Structure 1
């Protein structure tokens, strides 16, 4: 199975101690965000957990744990964008984050560390030309350390509109100009450019990979293995990424990014983060008497059948 940690919060940035306590304990609980009394128990055993996937804006606090996780296959997607603290109030300096990507790459390999440059939005400060200039600088710095860069343009979810007043969709004209420039830059730095659920028609014409972020093929390539994945429901229409089995919790990311889809508001995030106990099997709070705890059905997806050609 694939264990996810990053669709709802940023565990490497804020909850690394808790995560390692769960690894050492051998299990973790995850509360269902839509049915709060339903808790799923996952066994943290490398025999059934084929890959642990992280999505982070700041893996720096987590670097000290990487060697202890040597029995697991780790896949990191690290988001590095060009925005300042007025947009991303608590994200550390981008140069420090890029340095952490280099450390991850040296330990895990470039194919297991993906750079995300998203979401892309345009305003008077962050213009198309600004994005192109900064993107080129980042590619130059990360070349050789990341195999792939994923881009996407901002989606105006209700939470995003509420927390980021005045933000607008990126026009098709600007999308096309950025995509074309980014593709040319990536080619020059030997970085594979992919998109996340964008308009395929013009992207395909630019020879940009539109297959998805964390697909079966992506993970197979990262770890040089074959996965036998059962039929899974798409996380979103058209999304073929393997995003289930997430142990995170919404409204618990402390970065405070204005465009975030996972946080409702600052007050709720602050309250929930105060309920975090590094020793609890749950990321936030503790098990209640009314909770129904179910054990997840876990099995390895790795095809370990030996080919006749290998005999």
Structure 2
């Protein structure tokens, strides 16, 4: 079994003590996000967990615990999102400089093949346009050269929660481009591909509805059996995860997070708002088997 920790929230940033307590107890419980009466007990015993996949914008709180994970025999890798957006879009995310330093620290500790850089979603707006993305992507790529091997990109989707946030931003004079023409997308993609090559990065897309492979970006799998076999030398079930979007190529995993619990407050997020995150975080108990309640 592969454990996703988590697409639904940032467990390393905000719930590392809980996660480690669950590791020590050997299990956690997870509510069905669509029916809270359905609760699943998930084993976190090393013999039952083939891989831990972390998704985060700030893994710093989890780094002191990595030796314990190693000592217990866990295998893991990170998806680490670095966009460099202004606080109008990412109000509670630590400064980019600090997160770059954390990325380098993490890569040096566990190896560049186990830390995947995510530059997603790509959000074009009147406060961060094409030229800003080009400059930011190049800055981050140059800083991370040699400290990661892969970058993952995608364009922002108009999820219900995100669209509501975009309407609020518009009242503040910040306008998100929700519909991009093919020419603009091609220009951005070709630029990012060129920068990636210059910095020795493999570039892939994540659950992208548009086929951008003609411009040099193949569809990727964030939970990727080929990557797992190459890096860790083990084979996992290659069956596509039926619980993910049709465009998602990831193999089966069990997500142990919960929606509406992240405290980053990113205005483009599909998984919740800052207000909801703060409300639910108040019900978090580090000793509970479930993340919330």
TM normalised by structure 2 equals 0.92
Deviations 1:228-283 (A, max 9, x none): 345642511131213631110000000000001000x4432221100000011110
> Is residue 284 of structure 1 aligned with residue 286 of structure 2?
no
Deviates more, 1:55-64 or 1:252-261: 55-64
Provide closer, same or farther for how the CA distance between residues 199 and 30 of structure 1 changes in structure 2, counting only shifts above 3 A: closer
Q: Which stretch shows the higher mean deviation, 251-260 or 32-41?
A: 32-41
Give the whole-Å Cα distance in 1 for the aligned partners of 2:221 and 2:238. 16
Q: Distance in 1 between matches of 2:252 and 2:4?
A: 6
Q: CA separation in 1, counterparts of 2:95 and 2:197?
A: 26
- Rate the CA distance shift 1:243–1:92 in 2: closer, same or farther, 3 A: farther
Write out the 4+ residue segments of structure 1 that deviate beyond 6 Å after TM superposition.
Answer: none
Q: Runs of 5+ in structure 2 lacking a partner?
A: 168-174
1:1-311 map, 5 Å:
1-70=1-70, 71-165=73-167, 166-169=175-178, 170-199=180-209, 201=211, 203-230=212-239, 232-233=241-242, 235-242=244-251, 244-263=253-272, 265-285=273-293
Q: Which moved more, 1:185-194 or 1:102-111?
A: 102-111
Q: What is the deviation of 1:179?
A: 0.6
Superposed CA RMSD in Å reads 1.6
Tell me the SS of whatever aligns to 2:120. strand
Separation in structure 2 between the aligned mates of residue 129 and residue 58 of structure 1, nearest angstrom? 26
- Runs of 5+ unmatched residues, structure 1: 286-311
1:195/1:213 contact within 8 Å kept: no
Secondary structure of 1:144's aligned partner? coil
User: Structure 1, residues 189-222: CA drift from partner, whole Å, max 9, x if none?
Assistant: 1011111122554x22223222332222232233
Counterpart-to-counterpart distance in 1, 2:243 and 2:214:
25
- TM-score when normalising by structure 1: 0.87
1:270 counterpart SS class: helix
Paired residues, what number? 283
Q: Tell me whether 251-260 or 27-36 shows the greater mean CA deviation.
A: 27-36
- Summarize the Cα distance change of 1:200–1:159 in structure 2 as closer, same or farther, 3 Å threshold: closer
